């Protein structure tokens, strides 16, 4: 029996802009076959929406707690939402 898809909004606080964080999360999401997007926010945080298999979404949420090599993650907020059926993952400006 297949696990239903889930959607999670993740907001990552810390030194996460200008350090390859969005690209590393996008690569990990695409490798796992997740849909969604990631973007920089004006307050210096990064926001992402992850959709797909619950196990893969959980794994990528945990990845966001550490991120790319130059990142210094202070705090991660996550919120479950109703899936929209996003099939691809993009980096937004």
Q: 22 an active-site residue?
A: yes
Give how many domains the chain has, as a whole number. Answer: 1
Of residues 7, 9, 22, 62, which has the active-site annotation?
22
Of residues 9, 40, 72, 75, which has the active-site annotation?
40
In which domain, by residue range, is 20 found? 5-92
Q: What is the pLDDT of residue 4?
A: 61
Q: What is the CATH number of the domain that holds 87?
A: 3.30.70.100
Give, for 74, the enclosing helix (H) or strand (E).
Answer: strand 72-81
Average pLDDT over residues 61-76: 93
DSSP at 32: T
CB 72 within 8 A of CB 18: no
pTM over 0.85: yes
Distance CA 88, CA 15 (A): 26
Tokens of 41: 């926010």
Tokens of 20: 């390859």
Confidence tier at 3 by pLDDT (50, 70, 90)? low
More confident: 68 or 42: 42
Distance CA 51, CA 5 (A): 7
Confidence tier at 93 by pLDDT (50, 70, 90)? confident
Backbone angles phi, psi at 27, to 5 degrees: -60, -45
């Amino acid at each position: 029996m297949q696990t239903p898809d889930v959607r999670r909004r993740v907001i990552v606080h810390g030194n996460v802009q200008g350090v390859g964080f969005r690209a590393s999360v996008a690569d990990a999401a695409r490798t796992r076959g997740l849909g969604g997007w990631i973007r920089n926010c004006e307050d210096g945080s990064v926001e992402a929406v992850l959709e797909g298999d619950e196990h893969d979404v959980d794994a990528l949420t945990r990845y966001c707690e550490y991120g790319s090599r130059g990142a210094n993650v202070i705090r991660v907020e996550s919120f479950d939402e109703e899936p929209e059926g996003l099939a691809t993952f993009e980096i937004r400006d």
